[in-house]
Amino acid sequence: MAELQEQHILVATFPGQGHINPALHLAKRLARFPSTHVTFSTTISGHRRMFPSSSSEELHHNLLTFAPFSDGHDSEITRSNTSFSDYFSVFNRLAPLSLSAILRSFAARGRPVTSILYTILLPWAADVARDLSIPSHLYWIQASTVFSTYQHYLHETTLVAAHVDEPHFTLSFPNLKPSLQIRDLPSFFTMPPDHPFYPIFETLMAVFDRLEGERRRGYKPKVLVNSFHALEPDVSVEEVELVPIGPLLPVLFEDHEVEGGNLFRVDEKEYMEWLDMKEEGSVVYISFGSFSLMKKEQVEEMVRGLKESKRPFLWVVRKENGGGGVEIEEGDDGMVVEWCDQVRVLAHRAVGCFVTHCGWNSTLESLVCGVPMVAVPQWTDQCTNAKLVESLWGCGVRSEVDGDGVLQGVELVRCLELVMGEGKKGVEIRNKAKVWRDKALEAVAEGGSSDVNLKAFVDEIKIKELIK
């Protein structure tokens, strides 16, 4: 049996903020295991935004090696002027070649990669790993429930298509609670093939093709999931073994400031000092993530609702995502910032509610901090997450939008009063939020379900390398 001095895990991810965050949290967690070296790899353009002051492409930082691959759009300007269809066409052709070259370089330098973990928009990473005889595993950075819906969709495509115009048609999938309506499914399932974002869906489905390929070769794929058992105990998928290892968040591992992780510059406004002056549980925090675009009408309705609610608010909206920005009138008790440290904000005692698009990272961060949610889902997995928040976990409410997808100010007021008011429902929602905070912390604590799962996974891949 060969002796393995140090295993070398490479974590590869797509260059989006919602992908980089969970991938980086996992990489930093893995780097704390004995005799384990970890390399983090995203595109060159993403790497340069993470480390704008660095002149080196490969660098060592906070226990990790960062080795970016080229996607054919190393210039941010070039990528921003490219359609999704053209981008993924080049990305899926050139990125595998670049990552393969990185892996060969590590091997030539006596530091061979012994295992690859890849996130949801990198199906080709599994092909690269197989070509170089390196074990690989998918790291699913969405909910286990969402993974299950994709597997069910593969068998129920016709049923979903038949009811695409019936948002309240209910589907009952085996081993999945609660029942989901068409409007609760990932938006890709009802998206026409000519939609600009459809190439993202095709790339996602390619991930499931690779998993099915593993099954045909006689292996049951093991998929890491950024979730925890108590959160989704009834989810099981026959085709793969789901391994909940989350929630992987910096606040849980005394790693509050994830230096190098932000693709956007944190606003210099003193928002934490502003929060310090507010009463406990009084502030409404609003953020729809890094990607969601806000119509001008939506901005106006949000302003109208916040003004009518008479609650202090902290609102994250980047100028390019919010119709040129938001102006606060004199006398309004609010602050608008372009970007912030969301975990720090959610963990602050003054924050009493999170108005969120319900991206999975934001949902987990809210759960971990015990903050109830007003869900305003936009697309992809967000509608499914919103359903879970309201119907399964009971720690928030899903808002209703008009026919144009706009959250009206009066509806925002209703939701805020429901979640933050003194009525019976509001008290229940806030109590549930605290319960899920405790369960999340328990899962990742020493000996917790996710802690045990991750340790077992690392031990398993180490043993497999030893007996090769």
Q: For the chain, 468 residues long, give each residue's pLDDT as a single digit of tens.
A: 345 568 999 999 999 999 999 999 999 999 999 999 999 999 999 999 888 887 678 898 878 999 999 998 887 655 556 788 899 999 999 999 999 999 999 999 999 999 999 999 999 999 999 999 999 999 999 999 999 999 999 888 888 999 999 999 998 887 788 889 999 999 999 999 999 999 999 999 999 999 999 999 998 999 999 999 999 998 989 899 999 999 998 654 444 444 446 656 666 678 999 999 999 999 999 999 766 677 888 889 999 999 999 999 999 987 665 445 676 665 678 999 988 889 999 999 999 999 999 999 999 999 999 999 999 999 999 999 999 999 999 999 999 999 888 999 999 999 999 999 999 999 999 999 999 999 999 999 999 999 999 999 999 988 776 666
**What local confidence, expressed as pLDDT, does residue 269 receive?**
76
Asked if residue 410 belongs to a domain, the reply is yes
Distance CA 198, CA 393 (A): 30
Distance CA 436, CA 43 (A): 35
**What local confidence, expressed as pLDDT, does residue 76 receive?**
62
Catalytic residue among 8, 19, 152, 229: 19
User: Nearest Cα to 267, choosing from 233, 207, 230, 316?
Assistant: 316
At 12, list the tokens.
């590869």
Residues 106 and 14 occupy one common structural domain: yes
Residues 61 and 91 occupy one common structural domain: yes
Residues 451 and 423 occupy one common structural domain: no
**Strand ranges of the sheet holding 241-244, from the earlier edge strand across to the other edge:** 59-61, 64-66, 36-41, 7-12, 115-118, 136-140, 222-225, 241-244
Residues 233 and 321 occupy one common structural domain: no
**What local confidence, expressed as pLDDT, does residue 2 receive?**
47
Q: How many domains does the chain have?
A: 2
Q: Domain of 271?
A: 265-442
Residues 433 and 380 occupy one common structural domain: yes
Phi-psi region of 331 (alpha: psi -120 to 50; beta: other; left: phi over 0): left
**What local confidence, expressed as pLDDT, does residue 307 receive?**
93
- In a 10 Å sphere around its CB, with 0-12 CB exposed, 13-18 middle and 19+ buried, how is residue 422 labelled? exposed
- On the CB side of 159, CA atoms within 13 Å amount to 13
Task: Establish whether 19 is a catalytic residue.
Answer: yes
Asked if residue 2 belongs to a domain, the reply is no
Residues 246 and 104 occupy one common structural domain: yes
**What local confidence, expressed as pLDDT, does residue 316 receive?**
92
CATH of residue 371: 3.40.50.2000
**What local confidence, expressed as pLDDT, does residue 292 receive?**
65
Residues 228 and 333 occupy one common structural domain: no
Residues 215 and 329 occupy one common structural domain: no
Whether the full predicted model's pTM is greater than 0.85, yes or no, is yes
Residues 364 and 293 occupy one common structural domain: yes
Residues 431 and 461 occupy one common structural domain: no
- In a 10 Å sphere around its CB, with 0-12 CB exposed, 13-18 middle and 19+ buried, how is residue 196 labelled? exposed
Asked if residue 420 belongs to a domain, the reply is yes
